[in-house]
Structure 1
Amino acid sequence: MNRANALAVMTLALLLGACGSDEHDFEQTLGPAPELPEPERGVLPSMTIAEPAPWGEQKPSVPQGYSVTAIATDLKIPRQTLVLPNGDILVAEGRGGNAAKLKPKDVIAGYIKASGNTKVKGGDRLTLLRDADGDGRYELQTVFADELNAPYGLALHESSLYVANQDALLRFDYREGQTEASGPPNKVADLPAEINHHWTKALTISEDGRLLYVGIGSNSNITERGMAAEVDRAMIWQIDAATGAYKPYATGLRNPMALAIQPGSGQLWAVVNERDELGENLVPDYLTSVREGGFYGWPYSYWGQNLDPRVRPQDPAKVASAIAPDYSLGAHVAALGLDFSTAAMGEAFAEGVFVGEHGSWNREQPVGYKVVFVPFRDGRPAGPPQDFVTGFRSADGTTRGRPVGVTVDPRGALIVADDLANTLWRVTPTP
């Protein structure tokens, strides 16, 4: 969006009134049983444009007993990462979507988000980092594969490396230790890519390597383009790795941005970005286990059977079947990263998940812009989210970074992709 359009949208939002919920505390909307406010209609979102600023000599903040280091600082829009068996790190870099095809009414509806974004051109590639001597410095940085189409999700099983482009699921042959792809990838399956209001394709793989799970976002906020534009969208696909055959695994998830398999149980989990324009504290982005055949509400309802008053016609039978998510992360935090922790991350953060929160664009008081830890007990979320990596956004409104993917290195490190500073951060327990 050019500056004139951005100013016009903000002016209109101010004239109509900010969608605030001052009487309702954001903290009340967090956790497994959030207290949700009433929806607010007839107003545009408050639009907070982050002012990008360089990190300089500064770093993100981490808990006492941990340290953080930038291990790559010149990437081209890093999104998700994958730690390979030998400790190498793969980084998916790129920017997708077809924003040029959006109509003016889409801009007014807030679909082009005014937020701090890098000016760097997306790499459309995978970059490999290697720390050969184990000292925490990744002295090798090389392109593993290029000429991709907005790669996002990554997964590995034995000799098969999977990459989810915005339009296709690909497979590379992989040999441990190689620093570049040995040849072009094979296409496993096509993925929906028309218009691509939500272009990212999250990815994970079953423990036995037979099944792939791909998160596919909706093509609108709440079906403004009609249901025909939503075919095979707002859902998680299950894809047979051998044949490429796919089926809907779970539906009604507006924009599943990151997927992970829970170690031991094999349970699929997701973080999902919910709809906009119902107020500053609606609708919560969430963390949830994903049931096969489950329906999670979009577009008809949110957080179980809470009807979205804007959606017509309604579908009472679908609403009655809607599953409430497991855990609210709060509205508009833009949860984009997810991974399960291990004991190597320290006792306080040994059992649970890390979630990368890219940060809000449509709240008067911004939220997100950090990595949180959601503690688990007996395999389920238990307790409030805990800040783990913060400092990406300052109190004065400047924004130095925006976390996306988070990946736990089994040897004891959290890898955080920052797509504003084009940096990869590594957080480790200090001896």
Structure 2
Amino acid sequence: MIRFAGLAAAALLLATTASAQQAGEPVLTGKKAFGDWKADRPGVRRLIRPDDLQKPYVSRSASNGAGLADRPEGARPLVPSGFSIELVASGIDNPRVVRAAPNGDLFVADSKASQIRVYRLAEGSARPAQEAIFATGLTRPYGIAFYPPGDKPQWVYVANSNSVVRFAYRDGDLKAEGKPETIVPDIPANHHWTRDIAFSPDGKTLYLSVGSGSNVAEDMGAEPEGGLEQWATSAPLGATWGPEEGRADVLAFDPDGNNRRSFATGLRNCSGMTVQPQTGALWCVVNERDELGDNVPFEYATTVRQGGFYGWPWYYIGDNEDPRHAGARPDLSGKVTVPDVLLQAHSAPLNIAFYEGGSFPADYRGDAFVALHGSWNRGVRTGYKVVRLKFKDGKPTGEYEDFATGFVISDDDVWGRPVGVTVAKDGALILTEDGNGTIWRVTYGDGRS
């Protein structure tokens, strides 16, 4: 990990001073919504629409990866007025997805260390009463799911970069007692490797996201074997071929790994999945393609419709054709599903969780939180925060609001890169970031249930 020392006092102040949410703050729309990290603070709201999309190459494609700095002493993310945030753990190699077991234990995928960690917090506290290594010897684990859904799961499923495995589980287990059982083997693991998993509410379907093997299918080839017309009539709508076959997809299986089928296509990299409690709909947060400019195309969060095609690699955000595949698939025009919530380009959304807890203010219930890891392909960086997606009667309004910010120190350096987000059993929000390897607990009021 690259780190930078000698941070200026002003940068430290920026990273540690709380900023209260402004009442009645207007929603930023159009070009005003395309701000950078300096404008981020809890309460800032944005609404991006498909018509706000710029033409490709309006701005030069930038290579602007963040330098990772040590977390300044005492620094913590900024959250809205009335909320508190406390450190759960630090010094973890690579904390990524975090999921709460029905009993309240926090399962964390430590991807680079190839292990799953467990934290059992003291009641009403961010302090771990117990922590353990649940399983080791995995392969870049990421997604975690408990099966069957409900209060008494019997299995913990883990999505490796190249497979899905499961461990026998009894309520309260801190360590896996047996060896993993492989459920889905031979998942292609190059390029985008973050595999997330989720179960349908009835427990009959296992969903698996498999990101693309490239930025924009550069090596896929002009036509599949047998010709494009034959492929289009036999394969799922918008399915890719060659080295990209079965990628940029959400796949579905029976819980035992059998009966593989395509659920949705054209999702370049669905790094985070969850099921919306209110509706039972599957949701994805998606990293879109690079090298078309600072604000092209938008990232997004969306319901995933069975049989839906979301554009990659030929189109994006509806019928906007990627110039690198101009004229290649006119048959797909008009068949691209437009995502539900558009996020600023190159924010790199990695995980999503719906808030159904009872400890936050009532208007948070039914909204969703998304962790934005931050991306390299923008002249002035954006992302590096957790945002709140607004919903009304179970449907997204399209607005999103900064919730946890303060991870960026300067134009060059960041100390935190949010990855995982989940709701704890007591209604607290749990965040992970893999810049400095920390886990945080966000509460409202005094933080006690």
Q: Per the shorter chain, which TM-score range?
A: 0.7 to 0.9
Partner of 1:127: 117
Give TM-score scaled by structure 2 length. Answer: 0.81
For residues 83-138 of structure 1, give each alpha carbon's deviation from its aligned partner in whole angstroms, at most 9, with x where no partner exists.
111111010011xxxxxxxxxxxxxxxxxxxxxxxxxxx21000011124443311
For residues 336-356 of structure 1, give each alpha carbon's deviation from its aligned partner in whole angstroms, at most 9, with x where no partner exists.
010001242322422210000
Q: Percent identity?
A: 39
**Tell me, what secondary structure is at the counterpart of 1:310?**
helix
**Shift in Å, 1:424:** 0.7
User: Which structure 2 segments of 5+ residues have no match?
Assistant: 3-29, 36-45, 148-152, 221-240
Q: Distance in 2 between matches of 1:242 and 1:276?
A: 36
The reply to whether residue 75 of structure 1 matches residue 92 of structure 2 is: yes
After superposition, the CA RMSD in angstroms is 2.1
AA at the equivalent of 2:192: H
> Any residues of structure 2 matched to 1:27-426 within 5 Å, and which?
27=34, 30-40=47-57, 43-94=60-111, 122-157=112-147, 158-194=153-189, 196-226=190-220, 227-311=241-325, 314-344=328-358, 345-382=360-397, 384-426=399-441
**Shift in Å, 1:421:** 0.9
Any conservation in 1 of the 2:33–2:48 contact (CA below 8 Å)? no
User: Which structure 1 segments of 5+ residues have no match?
Assistant: 3-22, 95-121
**Shift in Å, 1:32:** 4.7
**Tell me, what secondary structure is at the counterpart of 1:250?**
strand
**Tell me, what secondary structure is at the counterpart of 2:324?**
coil
**Shift in Å, 1:312:** 5.3
Q: Distance in 2 between matches of 1:410 and 1:35?
A: 39
Q: Distance in 1 between matches of 2:185 and 2:58?
A: 37
CA 1:51/1:417 → structure 2, altered by over 3 Å: closer, same or farther? closer
Q: Distance in 2 between matches of 1:416 and 1:385?
A: 18
**Shift in Å, 1:316:** 1.3
CA 1:55/1:139 → structure 2, altered by over 3 Å: closer, same or farther? farther
Q: Distance in 1 between matches of 2:362 and 2:96?
A: 28
**Shift in Å, 1:229:** 1.1
For residues 240-288 of structure 1, give each alpha carbon's deviation from its aligned partner in whole angstroms, at most 9, with x where no partner exists.
1034321110001110010010113211111001011111000111011
Any conservation in 2 of the 1:32–1:381 contact (CA below 8 Å)? no
Any conservation in 1 of the 2:99–2:107 contact (CA below 8 Å)? yes
Q: Distance in 2 between matches of 1:348 and 1:209?
A: 29
Give TM-score scaled by structure 1 length. Answer: 0.84
AA at the equivalent of 1:415: I
AA at the equivalent of 1:364: G
**Shift in Å, 1:320:** 2.4
For residues 13-49 of structure 1, give each alpha carbon's deviation from its aligned partner in whole angstroms, at most 9, with x where no partner exists.
xxxxxxxxxx944449843545111111895424243
Any conservation in 1 of the 2:143–2:195 contact (CA below 8 Å)? yes
Any conservation in 1 of the 2:109–2:141 contact (CA below 8 Å)? yes
AA at the equivalent of 1:73: S
Any conservation in 1 of the 2:340–2:398 contact (CA below 8 Å)? no
CA 1:383/1:295 → structure 2, altered by over 3 Å: closer, same or farther? closer
Q: Distance in 1 between matches of 2:253 and 2:270?
A: 16
**Shift in Å, 1:313:** 5.7
CA 1:51/1:418 → structure 2, altered by over 3 Å: closer, same or farther? closer
**Tell me, what secondary structure is at the counterpart of 1:385?**
strand
Any conservation in 1 of the 2:67–2:412 contact (CA below 8 Å)? yes
The total of aligned residue pairs comes to 383
**Shift in Å, 1:193:** 2.1
**Shift in Å, 1:192:** 2.4
For residues 312-369 of structure 1, give each alpha carbon's deviation from its aligned partner in whole angstroms, at most 9, with x where no partner exists.
5611122321111111011000000100012423224222100000012121111110
AA at the equivalent of 1:382: T
